[in-house]
Every structure is written in C-alpha cells, then in structure tokens.
Structure 1
Amino acid sequence: MSHPRALQFYSVCGLIGLLSFSVCLRSSLAAAPAGAAESALAKKVETKPGEYNVDYDIQPLKGKLDRVPMFNSNSPEIVPDSGILLSTLDPKNKRHPEAHLKYAVKGPFTIFFHHINRQDESGPRKLLIISLLVYNPASSKASLTFHSLASYVSQPDAPVPVQPLPPLCADDEGKVYAGQGDRVASDYVRGAADFKYPFTINVAPRSYALVSELPVKVYGASSANGRSYFAEAEAKKPIQLALLGSFREDLEVFERSEVWRPQSATDEMEDLIERGSAFGAGRKDRGNRDLHSLQKMLEEDNLAGPREGDKRAPTPPGSKQAIVYGRVSGVQLGSTLTAERSLDLQVATPLAVAYPVSSVEQGTMGTGEIQAAPLIRRYKNSAYAAHGNYCVHYQIDLKITSHDKATRSVAIALSSPLKTDKNEDYLTFFKEQARPVFFRGVIKVSESDNQGKIADDAPAHYYHLVAHRGERLPPFTRLQMEPGENRTVRIELYYTPDATPPQMLTIDSEVNARPVTIPAPAEQSANPADKKLSQKSKGRNE
C-alpha cells in the first residue's frame, strides 16, 4: 500500500554559520494565516483582542513514564562560580553535606545537563569546565557502560541562525537546528547519537573515575555560551555521580567542536580515562592532579550558586497560588514516555482531537494529566518535578480506523496554544506571531505496514518545528484513509531542552463529500486481500 507523503511543496531555507541548506516543507496551509485551514468541526470564537479559539475534543494523552532514573542538572542554568552542580554521593564526611543527595544508580539510567558560561564583557574571560565523575562505593570493581551520547555548545556547534527558521521544515538529513539543545535532541531522535559498540568504564573499589571534562568557552563578541549534554548508560553495580563546574583562565584548549559524534565521543572518553584529565595534554601526572583537585572539590566545596530558587522558591505541588516552576537539580524517575491512542473516523462525521505533550502542573490543558517526571532526589529551592521533561523520549502511537464510506484526509500537527488548566473544549491561539519561541525541535514520523505494524526499520521522515507562544503550526503529515482502512502513525521526539511546555498534538479530519461505493456482499471476493484491493480500486477510479 502506498502512503503519500504530506506537504508536497518545497522551498529552500537558508541557514547561517555551520548550518547547511535544507529542504523546507511548504504547503498552502503553511503559507496561509494561522488557522486558515481548519476542520469542519473547528470554528473560531473571538475571545480577547488578538486571540482566537479553535474547537477541539481535548483528551489526556494517557502517557506512561518508565522508571529509568535521569541525573538531571539544570540549576543554576548560568554557572556563577566554581562548585558542585549536582552530586548523588553520600554526604558523610563531606564539609557541606547538604550538597550531596545520596543516590546510587543501578541498571539503565540517563544523564542530562544544560549549563551556561556568561562572562562580563569588561573583565578577563574565563573558561567554564564541566566535569562528570563517577564514584564506586563498593568493595569490588564496578562498570559503567555508555550506549549513546550527544553534547554540543551553542557556539560554534549549533548557532541560532540570523534568519528565522520556518515553522515547518523537512529535515531527513539532520541539518536544521537552532541551539545546542535542539541539536542534541535531533541526534537522539534520528539515532545519530548511538554508539556502534557500547563503551565501558571500569571503576576501582571505593574510587572515582573522570568520565567527561567539557569546556564552555565564550567566543568573539558574545558574552555567553551554553552546553547541553545527554547520554544513555547502564551500571552493573550501584554507582554514584557528580557534576562539577570550575573556572580557569581562558587558555588555548583543544577545540571540541563536532567531537561528540559517537565514535569520537568514545575516543575522547577513553583518552580521558587513560590520562585522568583531558587537560593533561598527554601528561598523566597533570591528569592525576586534576582528578585529585576534583575529588577535593567534592569533599570540601559547597553547591555552585546562587541559584534561581534562592530568589524565587519553586511552588510546592498542589498549590492554588500562581506557580513558580523552578529549574531542576536532582534525580528524576522517568526517561521515556509512551502513549497509544485509538481514533475512529465515523460516517460523515468530522474529527478534531487534541492531546497534551509535556503537560505540567497548572498547565494540563484541562485534562488533569501531569506528564512531568517526579523527582526522587532534589535540592532545596530547586524544582519539585521535571517541568518540561527535557530530553525525555516521547513515543506516541495513533491507531486510526476509518468507518466512513468516503476517503478521508487526516492532518496531524504539533502546536503551542496558550497554556491553561481549565476544562475547555477549545484551544486558544494568537492571531499574530508572538516573539518568544516556545518549542523548536525535530519530530520523527513513521507509519505502519499493511498489517498495522511498525517495524524497527520502518521508513521514517523527520520534520523540524518552530512554534512561538500561542502559535498554531501547519500539519507535519497528512494521511489519506480509505474506507475500512486501519493505519498506525508513530510520532517520536526527545523533548528539547529550553522548550516551554505544554504543546498540543492535534488530529483533524474533514468530511469528504465524495462517497466511495462499497460492493455488496455478493459481489465481494472471498479473498480478504482481493476485497481490500477491489474497494481501493473502485474508490480511486470513481
């Protein structure tokens, strides 16, 4: 069965800096004003000036988070001074026990961090070094295995282009991104971050190992640069992790732009383990001194700060007051969210359904569903949950069945309507494009075969989306559903660091006025496959 691709008109979108040219999807809907193409069910209702409503049956996604822990460090986002960013070590015998959360991971887990180096333009610039260490508290050797990894700095790896990116762009080659978090998530959703062979680090009993030591350098006229990092790993025995930030003079360092491709990432980590430090420049004695100084920081230093929550403390769960979400620093429970929803196209009945993606407290879009992963360890004055679910893998299966007697077109889109917690039957959008970008990232779309199954190697297409606050985006795919047809569409994304939740996944289908004749039972072939082909042939030729 042939499944025509959606959005068939293309134009070229120029990207600046390291971004190469990419083919951008353009459809008549993309060129039209927001809300120009709506289903018969979706009507506009004027509310406040500059806004409009679109009717939808808003339902919970009913997503299920797994129980894979994530070591998550995003506070302080801007690192003000040297210190501990996040530590799950035992606080015993530490000068500042409050800086250590005492949590050991065993089995599969993920690591995420996103931090910024901002320097005063008037003073000498310093280099931020982010160091990831692992500690083995046991009396026998422990191993840590990495299966995938991606890390980029904004400059020069993933600059935001001078010319704004379009709201919807084909990105099968992975060349469209704006910001380091966008590029990390793009690598993961397309499988570019996977190692060909797992990389294993052996850690001696009651000893530390330096896993990564990454520079964040401020370049040129800019006053800031940021780094995002995400990895999937596994520990055979319980281990503890620590992330440290330290500043050094802005000396010449090995340029790590583009090194975090899978093969070079393993080479870098292997070299780091052998030398003790990437800044040892091949001298093991220097590397040992660096590792010793990091151990001393863990034992004697406090948390790097001040932190965002020191000025505005996050709001406790369940509060009725205006919420302060805060930034995450701790261990969350959940790295992958899966959901499966069934949709039925009834005879001569339009469809307009919406599901929240990355819904948060006081932002469930009326569904009552909070998708934010809970924190099982956190620092005081940091977020109570992983609001935004940065780098959480979303896998959403939409099982669509047509009971209609006519061919139906089904449009699927991801948009950023105005956040609400009220139980309403519509989504609210701005008429004009707002300035803040609330979501930019890549989604992967794959479809089922004739048996309704999605194979691991099923053909997939990738689309880069840019949604401003209150912006309704054009559909990234359209399906042509024949009478009696079943189709499953899988939508995947790694929720992009620095996106602002929630978004809404919308499914629209108008009623096709042209009916398709269904043969009477006596005319139908005894072979079910022949029957389906006969129905399709008649529908297409009438």
Structure 2
Amino acid sequence: MTNNHLTLLALFSLTLGWTSCTKINANLPEASPQSSAATPQEIVRANEVRSLPGKLDNVPMFNSNSPEWVKKEGILLSTFPPEGKTVPTAHLNFPFQGKFTLFAHHFTHTPPNLQTLYLGVIVYNPSREPVTLAVSEAASYLMEPDAPFQQQPTMSNNPDGEIYAGAGIRAVDNVLRGRRQQDFPAQLVIPPGKSQMLMNHPIPVRGLAKRCNGRSSFFRLNSSSKVYIASLAMYAQKHADGTERAPTLAEWQQLLDTGGLAGPRDKTPTPPDQVGGQLIYGRVAGVQLGSSWQADLVDEGSTHLTIPPSGQAISFAISTLRGGRLGTNQLQAAPLIVRYPDTAYESHANYGVHYDLTLPLLNTTNQPQRVTVTLETPWKEDQLSKGGLIFRQPSWDFPLFRGTVRLRYQDNQAQELTRYLHLWHRRGQVLEPLVELNLASGEQRQVWLDFLYPPDSVPPQVLTVETK
C-alpha cells in the first residue's frame, strides 16, 4: 500500500462522522495527488516551510469525542475515581482545578423507536467546601436544525457568526467571540460531596428526513477547587403517559455509578511507535494537555518577521500530526494525559485548540512591497515528496477546513480593523489571501490571526506570507 493510500485512510478516520449523516455536494478526494480524470494542473510551491513557533499551554481539555456515533447508552468519558464504581476501568481518575476547557462531540443514528438520545455532563465536588465552577464561554448546537452542513463560499465576511457549516464550527465560533449561551449559567456552586449537571441536552432525530443528528459543545471553565467530570449518553426517560422527558440528576448518577462505556467503540488507533502499516488515528476520549497555542511568527532570534524577497513565500505549518508534518518534523497534536486503551493517543486534529498567532511583518528592502497573508490547506504529507507544498487546479473537492477565523490588522489607510472570516477550504485549493498589505520601505506592521481549530476540519494547514 502506498504512502498516499495510507494518507487517505488516515484522512477518512477524521472525517467519516459527519459525511455518514449529511451529503455535501463534493466528490471524494483521489487516492494520490497525481491522479485525476480531468488531468488538472498540479502546483508544487517550493517555498520555505517552517515549524510553528511557540507551544501548547498546560491548560487541560476534557475531550469527549469517542464513540462519535452512540447506539449504546453509557459513559462517554469519566475522570471520576474508580473506587465504588461497578466498572472501574470506565473512570480515569483525573481532577480538574483552575482553568480548563471542555469539548463534547457526539452523534446518534436510527436509534431504537427513534428515541431521543441525551448528552449529560455531570460535575462532582469531592471536597468539604463548596466549589464554584465559573462558565466564561459556552455553546452547544445540534447539527439539525441549528447548524446543518452546507456548502459555503471559499471566504465570507462573518461579522455576527451567522455563517457556519456544522455544529462544532458554530460552537467554537461562539466561544471565539466570548459568548455564553443563555441556557448555561455564569457559574455553578456545587455543595460539598455533591454533583450538578453542567449539561442535560437532547439529540433528537424524530421528524428529520435522515434519522441521524449530532450535538457539539465547547466550554471555557474555571474551578475554584478540584472537581471530577463525566460525559454520559442516555436515551430519554418516559412520563407516565409515554412522552419523553430528560433524565434526572439521580438517573445520570446511577448510570455513572453502575454503567460501562458507551458503544459501539471506534477503531483502535495505531500505536505511536508503529512503523509502516495502516495509520489509524482513532477518536479522542480523555484529557488532553493543552488548550491554546500562542506564537509570535518571527525569524529566529528576532522580534519581527522579515518579509520574503519579491515572488517568494514563507509558510508556517499549523495543526501538524503523525503522517502530516509537511516536512517540519513538528508534531503539534496535543498529548493525552489520561485516555481509554481503544481511543486516540493524541488529539490529532486539535479540535477546539485556540491558535493565537501574531505576525510582526517588516519590510527591510528599499522599495515598497505588496505582501499577502493566506491560510491554506495543501496536500497532506509527512515529508514533502516533491520538494514543496502540493496544490492543484482544480482542487480536490472534499472540504477539509471549514470555520471562522478572526483577523486584526492596520489597513493601508491606517485604519485598525477586526474581521471575522468564515473559510471553506478544499484540499489543495489555490486561495485568495486573508489580507493584502502595502508596506513602505522599512515599515513594520502587525497582523494578528486567531481561531479555535474547527471540529470536523482535517489538518494540516499552513499560514503563508508572500511578497508579490
């Protein structure tokens, strides 16, 4: 099996969730960058590709994404201690304290009798004093009807967050803007030795044309003392008249204490030390170390980035992973502190990680220069087999980066601008830049780009600075 086929298999392991439920007007990518019925033009751009400066912070993320498709009730992810639990192996014994983030992303498909699946997140205070859990930002959306997967233009102004292509994309867009949905409190005060529900939200399918739906949720949280957290899946309970109702705290607690892991289980991932063979990333269910990557994109030993010579470019790799390091040898995927044995070893797409990137651009020439900054999705490779990043016209049609980014800069009229842009990238697509600047000789100007890596996007990407 060729490296290109392995890349494709690994790519599908990150994308099959939403494509199984929703069909976008897009063809599947070819098995290699050389093949195409229409004989498109392949573009190999041999500019410098640099590792991304900076590193992940130490803020943990509760990352609940396996099983992605839930058909069997049970525990999705529990960081509770195993003592006193019927299935001790379902509990990973990791307390949260201080700042942390929470990501939960799950689907249901043709449930029995079209029952509504509920997603619950329970928080437990093990101490003898009340604990305050501050909820600074929070968003949770259904795929239907809140945020269906819909084809979008390559780049759209998105000032109010009304453009999106998926529930996870809409959720992290809200958090990027500092929003907290009204159904989440500003804080939970949890009494000593007690639990409270942070979430108790449905994923209904009744009445939908396709009997499948999903919910994606993202939170920024801060706990005044240690808490344990679990995400759980349970079908709706019934009133005496047979109508559905949400599970109670006591019913969630019973499932947590006596239940096992939800199912069916996802594919077991390839061990990190395996050489050759099929690369399976797996789905994440665990606590990852790192919620944000802050970086100043500068030359080594400098406080600025010298723009490249006219006609040349510099690219910085973003969200690199095993099998997709683009020749940099840098692995950005967040490590898992605790995980289940059949789930991912790393957070391979860094879903929800806040990339916070500053570019202090400097024109050291004696002439004015026209400079562009572009976020791009080249063909995925570990090493650059053709000596550069591979693009294609027309591109492979599969949409692999979909989400909102925030761009802040001073334009050519000296106006300070903040723009929210929704991007829809196909693999290998030749794209218009996010911004184009005219820099005078000796001028330095700063561009700031940040985004929460959108769930259901597929890495890696590059951020490219080019002098025209």
Q: TM-score, normalised by structure 1?
A: 0.73
1:314 has 2:303 as partner = no
Cα distance, 1:58 vs. partner?
0.6
Cα distance, 1:460 vs. partner?
0.6
Q: Which amino acid aligns with 2:99?
A: P
**In 2 relative to 1, CA 53–115 (structure 1 residues): closer, same or farther, beyond 3 Å?**
same
1:61 has 2:52 as partner = yes
**1:428-443 paired onto structure 2 within 5 Å:** 428-443=390-405
* Contact 2:164 2:422 survives alignment (8 Å): yes
Q: 1:497 aligns with which of 450, 455, 460?
A: 455
Cα distance, 1:221 vs. partner?
0.9
State the distance in 2 between where 1:193 and 1:469 align: 33
Q: 1:183 aligns with which of 142, 157, 170?
A: 170
Cα distance, 1:396 vs. partner?
0.6
Residue matched to 1:473: 431
Cα distance, 1:330 vs. partner?
0.4
State the distance in 2 between where 1:478 and 1:249 align: 56
State the distance in 2 between where 1:404 and 1:350 align: 14
* Contact 2:236 2:245 survives alignment (8 Å): no
Residue matched to 1:165: 152
Cα distance, 1:449 vs. partner?
9.7
Bigger mean CA offset, 76-85 vs 242-251: 242-251
Aligned residue pairs total: 417
1:89 has 2:51 as partner = no
* Contact 1:397 1:489 survives alignment (8 Å): yes
Q: 2:196 aligns with which of 209, 212, 234?
A: 209
**In 2 relative to 1, CA 448–338 (structure 1 residues): closer, same or farther, beyond 3 Å?**
farther
* Contact 1:125 1:249 survives alignment (8 Å): no
* Contact 2:69 2:264 survives alignment (8 Å): no
State the distance in 2 between where 1:496 and 1:411 align: 23
State the distance in 2 between where 1:97 and 1:198 align: 31
Of all paired residues, the percent bearing the same amino acid is 35
Cα distance, 1:448 vs. partner?
5.6
Residue matched to 1:406: 367
Cα distance, 1:433 vs. partner?
3.1
**1:261-280 paired onto structure 2 within 5 Å:** 279=245
State the distance in 1 between where 2:58 and 2:271 align: 23
Q: 1:336 aligns with which of 275, 284, 292?
A: 292
Q: Secondary structure at the match of 1:98?
A: helix
Residue matched to 2:7: none
Cα distance, 1:193 vs. partner?
3.8
Q: Which amino acid aligns with 2:91?
A: H
Q: Which amino acid aligns with 2:148?
A: P
Q: Which amino acid aligns with 1:328?
A: V
Residue matched to 1:229: 217
Q: Secondary structure at the match of 1:129?
A: strand
Query: Computing the radius of gyration over CA atoms, which structure comes out larger, 1 or 2?
Result: 1
Cα distance, 1:489 vs. partner?
0.4
Q: 1:152 aligns with which of 128, 137, 141?
A: 141
Residue matched to 1:108: 99
State the distance in 1 between where 2:411 and 2:165 align: 34
Q: Which amino acid aligns with 2:263?
A: G
* Contact 1:53 1:426 survives alignment (8 Å): yes
Q: Secondary structure at the match of 2:329?
A: coil
State the distance in 1 between where 2:200 and 2:181 align: 20
Structure with greater proportional helix content: 1
**1:251-400 paired onto structure 2 within 5 Å:** 279=245, 290-309=248-267, 313-321=268-276, 322-342=278-298, 343-345=305-307, 349-400=310-361
Q: Which amino acid aligns with 1:136?
A: N
**How much is the aligned-residue C-alpha RMSD, in angstroms?**
2.4
Q: Which runs of 4+ in 1 moved over 6 A?
A: none
* Contact 2:307 2:466 survives alignment (8 Å): no
**In 2 relative to 1, CA 202–331 (structure 1 residues): closer, same or farther, beyond 3 Å?**
same
What are the Cα deviations for residues 54-91 of structure 1, in whole angstroms up to 9, with x where unaligned? 22111101231110000000000011111001100000
Cα distance, 1:144 vs. partner?
1.1
What are the Cα deviations for residues 371-398 of structure 1, in whole angstroms up to 9, with x where unaligned? 1111101001100001101111111111
What are the Cα deviations for residues 244-281 of structure 1, in whole angstroms up to 9, with x where unaligned? 10012799xxxxxxxxxxxxxxxxxxxxxxxxxx957x
Q: Secondary structure at the match of 1:124?
A: helix
* Contact 1:166 1:466 survives alignment (8 Å): yes
Q: Secondary structure at the match of 1:459?
A: strand
State the distance in 2 between where 1:119 and 1:158 align: 19
What are the Cα deviations for residues 495-538 of structure 1, in whole angstroms up to 9, with x where unaligned? 0011111111111112xxxxxxxxxxxxxxxxxxxxxxxxxxxx
Residue matched to 1:271: none
Q: 1:174 aligns with which of 147, 153, 161?
A: 161
1:126 has 2:84 as partner = no
Cα distance, 1:225 vs. partner?
0.8
Q: Which amino acid aligns with 2:351?
A: Y
Cα distance, 1:323 vs. partner?
1.8
Residue matched to 1:484: 442
State the distance in 2 between where 1:198 and 1:294 align: 20
* Contact 1:75 1:307 survives alignment (8 Å): yes
Unaligned runs of 5+ in 2: 1-32, 299-304
State the distance in 1 between where 2:429 and 2:146 align: 28
Q: Which amino acid aligns with 1:305?
A: G
State the distance in 1 between where 2:452 and 2:249 align: 33
* Contact 2:411 2:417 survives alignment (8 Å): no
State the distance in 2 between where 1:399 and 1:198 align: 39
What are the Cα deviations for residues 203-249 of structure 1, in whole angstroms up to 9, with x where unaligned? 12222112210001114212211111000111111110011100127
* Contact 1:78 1:117 survives alignment (8 Å): yes
Cα distance, 1:419 vs. partner?
0.8
What are the Cα deviations for residues 277-301 of structure 1, in whole angstroms up to 9, with x where unaligned? x957xxxxxx8xx211211111111
Q: Which amino acid aligns with 2:171?
A: V
* Contact 1:147 1:198 survives alignment (8 Å): no
* Contact 2:100 2:222 survives alignment (8 Å): yes
Q: Secondary structure at the match of 1:107?
A: strand
1:192 has 2:183 as partner = no
Unaligned runs of 5+ in 1: 1-45, 252-277, 281-286, 511-542
Cα distance, 1:306 vs. partner?
2.0
Cα distance, 1:198 vs. partner?
7.6
